[in-house]
A and B are shown apart, each in its own frame.
Chain A
């Protein structure tokens, strides 16, 4: 039963207030993209055993989507941040590095 801090309304919301939305920072591929690009966009997920970036919605709350950086092996949460960004913000990445030096996720580290 996770708790995540919703960056919009500032509450520590327990999981039952939230809806999980899968991997964060996907780049959308539409018409004109290759079969591989489109396939990866829809189906290929990092699914790491470790640091992960993902989307959540404060569904039974302010209704806003936000991002969380979380470890899938310990469920540690490194931070939550705005959904309106295409990559993890620097301070979140630093927070992770402080806890897990050498982590990587996609092209980030």
Chain B
């Protein structure tokens, strides 16, 4: 059984007991435990079920590479599925549940799949469930999807209780990984004066070395680490972070660091995760190496574990996964596990070494009384939910002549693979190291940075060296090289001297026994989580899925939550063998970020809830909000759609506003309209290029409506332009247009006509702008003026239609434009934004006697539609040109050039068959459905109904008491009076007459009073 040992446990504090629960059972652990070590200490060997066959799964590793021990962690709005028990620090009150089973972990209906596994090889679903066809949708797929997934989905109404944030950091050298290699590299890099950041994913510094033993500079490793850490902490130019994982390396030295701040103490004040966006001149990956499993039958039974992990459990947490252990290996390092277990009082039954010769560690093991079996292999592990016994055989051969040994745990080691993820994310290439049977970074093909030079260096075991001494010299050199590449001069210092027992060469063993018969191969797991076995990879190869990428996708090898950290190399070795090829030829799949999964919330950072996205507000925003505004998002702005009074529907409110504005007085907050100042000796010439009509001839004091097209000919914006003085114009844009058109102008000025003397400034937000509209508009202004004594003359004579004046309106400095988008007597009045609310209040107050009401954007739309005014975004959609809208009058014939002019001459744009703007009126007065299409005769070559037009705007006009609409109709202007049909999506067909688009006050008398 797995138990807590009486001694050992360098990371736990036995004086601090911690209570936690697993599947509802309360358990005890110590501070410093991981959830995995604590579960093992409680003899909880089985921790979950595998994905496909629902096989019992126990912990196999001790760190980030763990594929099996995944739990649902926490509860309610702190519940998180698929959390690795091996990297979860234990805390008081932790709750966890195991995953992927029903009804429970011990007895799982889904485990029937393991008995059917023979019928469910890789890719079986591509070959099945094809007939009968209807079964797919109703039987097969629902079934497949029911069995999908691993962890429980969080509750649908779950609102994450935590906050998250980002942080931008800039450093000369970033060292990823805080093992002895990372610490040493950081130290020498920092000694050069470079700014260094060192990040480590776990809560501890030192990595593997303190567990593996040996000495550094004749001191125990722990001591060396402690010293180095305090040295680094004392350096001003060094930033150290643990619980901070290097998640991904991206172009131009961008690295994501994933810092877990409160996962080990949930509920603490402050953000849960911080995503560091680090820019580093040089990145050193000192991410260590990961031990590989061995492929033998039953290597997935709970109790079979990586040798190094078993060693970690004993040394770091004082836990042994079993009482009677067998060690299987192809290298010397696993002997350390046997020795440590034995020294801790655990029975080590055998060391099964696939090689025929081992190094001095083997002698040490033998001296401790451990039986070493050279040339041997595990044929099969027996046991269901935990290891019961092991059948041993010769490594050579197919696995006959077996010897059975009873035991309760197996430690396996297939050699070590450098963690090359960070090296590879941004394009670093690998080479195959034949002696150690692993891929390691190819220093001649690093990822390239902005300057085209390599910006990542690997150090320590992540670069290939495995022996402590080599690791330290390598790291020392890498740290110095990184400092140099970042522009610093490294100090000439000696690397620390690491000493451990010398090791004999490992031997590549990809299958145990070497020629295992099919029955064994079908039980030899490669990918524990996704249930990919040796036989699956061989099947893929046989069926032509020969590329390693095909094999991956066909078998799902390496696609589980661990991303193949344990399985990939073993899998591609099997593939190479099946293809009769070589491992480096087969190559690896692509390493992609993140290194281990990171929370989606951390990626979003602070952008949630209130600050999810900016909401732009006008100076009168709060007033609108308090006065019934039904909000409409327009770009990032919020505008009032209508002011809804208690007891009113939105529709009622709109109708009321429409009528009142025509009959009395309406106020519109028009502050969002863009206002651009264009000034300079060449401003007139410039605006003549920007607008389709002539702006240079506009007289000072006057306004002109202008159209803008893109160079491609399409309408992009419109608005009223006012000439302020000899070389200054003020251009109004649509709400969405302010920044866009400002940018557009700057672009042309800076990149095409840079010798033109023009400056542009965006003054949109300097002003609050209010449209004062309706027959009483002048009266209210005059009243304000009278109240304050004097002011601007707003009479018809002093301020005629399409002119503007500066002056005082009431007590306010204002600029009044006599323009009208409603067809009524109308003034658009700009006051400083800081006066906006006061001005609005004054108008509301003075307007009472004139029947003032604020109105929203929908009313604005209806008023303009009654007048047949087009709206950018309604009548236009990016495919409409001025000619379509009957705006020929705004296309200057005098100007040789303006943006869009050339485009309009292309054959399709000059085509007389283009749909053209008309008014539409249903024969029964009802409202045409928005977006409806008019149909013509017959169908086209693709069998679609022929269409001859569409509705662009449609409203109920309370003033006219009927539906009115505008639309684009083929040959429309020539078809006045004709009836066209618009099939609705409601099954009805709407009949509408083609009419003039001006429905109200055709002669424009009302606006010009």
Contact = CB atoms under 8 A, between A and B. Distances in A.
A and B are interacting partners: yes
Contact of A84 (B252, B754, B906): B754
A31 B751 contact: no
20 contacts: A1-B250, A3-B450, A14-B279, A31-B901, A31-B902, A31-B905, A33-B902, A38-B902, A38-B903, A38-B906, A42-B711, A42-B712, A57-B743, A59-B743, A63-B746, A65-B746, A77-B451, A78-B452, A83-B750, A83-B754
Contacts of A57: 743, 747
Contact of B252 (A2, A30, A65): A2
A61 interface: no
A76 B903 contact: no
A65 B744 CA distance: 11
Nearest to A3: B252
Contact of A2 (B450, B712, B754, B901): B450
Contacts of A76: 448-452
Given A2-B251, A65-B747, A28 B448 contact: no
A106 to B, nearest CB: 17
A57 B740 CA distance: 13
Interface in B890-909: 896-897, 901-903, 905-906
A31 B451 CA distance: 42
A84 B751 CA distance: 6
Contacts of B747: 21, 57, 65
B698 to A, nearest CB: 23
B251 A29 contact: no
Contact of B752 (A28, A33, A64, A99): A28
B450 A77 contact: yes
Given A59-B743, A76-B448, 10 more contacts: A1-B254, A2-B251, A21-B751, A31-B896, A33-B902, A35-B906, A64-B750, A71-B452, A75-B252, A76-B452
A99 B453 CA distance: 10
Contacts of A64: 750
A13 B439 CA distance: 36
Given A14-B279, A65-B750, A30 B743 contact: no
Contacts of B712: 42
B456 to A, nearest CB: 14
Interface string B588-629: 000000000000000000000000000000000000000000
Interface in B354-372: none
A67 to B, nearest CB: 9
B897 A99 contact: no
Contacts of A99: 452
Contact of A30 (B746, B751, B901, B906): B901
A55 interface: yes
Contacts of A90: none
Q: Which of B252, B451, B746, B747 has the most CB of A within 10 A?
A: B252
Nearest to B904: A31
Contacts of A59: 743
Nearest to A99: B452
Contacts of A14: 254, 279
Given A42-B711, A57-B747, A65-B747, A1 B901 contact: no
Interface of B: 250-254, 279, 427, 448-452, 711-712, 743, 746-747, 750-752, 754, 896-897, 901-903, 905-906
Given A1-B254, A74-B452, A76-B451, A30 B902 contact: yes
Nearest to B689: A30
Nearest to A84: B754
Contact of B450 (A32, A42, A65, A75): A75
Main secondary structure of the interface of A (DSSP, over half): loop
Contacts of B901: 30-31
Nearest to B427: A74
Nearest to B170: A12
A3 B279 CA distance: 10
Q: Which of B712, B743, B901 has the most CB of A within 10 A?
A: B743
A3 B452 CA distance: 13
A88 to B, nearest CB: 14
Contacts of A77: 450-451
A64 B754 CA distance: 12
A73 B747 CA distance: 27
Contacts of B896: 31
B451 A75 contact: no
B736 to A, nearest CB: 17
Interface string A46-87: 000000000101010001110000010011111000011000
B303 to A, nearest CB: 45
Q: Top 5 nearest A-B pairs by Cβ distance?
A: A76-B452, A1-B254, A84-B754, A65-B750, A30-B897
A75 B251 contact: yes
A71 B896 CA distance: 39
Interface string A3-43: 10000000000100000010000001111110100100010
Q: Which of A1, A35, A38, A57 has the most CB of B within 10 A?
A: A1
Nearest to A59: B743
A86 to B, nearest CB: 10
A71 B903 CA distance: 32
Contacts of B451: 76-77
A31 B896 CA distance: 7
A1 B252 contact: yes
Nearest to A35: B906
B834 to A, nearest CB: 25
A74 B897 contact: no
B256 to A, nearest CB: 10
A31 B750 contact: no
Contacts of B250: 1
Q: Which of B747, B751, B754, B897 has the most CB of A within 10 A?
A: B751
A38 B743 CA distance: 23
A1 to B, nearest CB: 4
Contacts of B902: 29-33, 38
A55 B751 contact: yes
Nearest to A55: B751
Contacts of B252: 1-3, 75
Contacts of A28: 752
Contacts of A2: 251-252, 450
Contacts of B449: 76
Contacts of A38: 902-903, 906
A42 B747 CA distance: 16
Nearest to B901: A31
A101 to B, nearest CB: 13
Contacts of B452: 71, 74, 76, 78, 99
B897 A31 contact: yes
Contacts of A21: 747, 751
B251 A1 contact: yes
A29 B711 CA distance: 10
A99 B449 CA distance: 13
A72 to B, nearest CB: 12
Contacts of B750: 64-65, 83-84
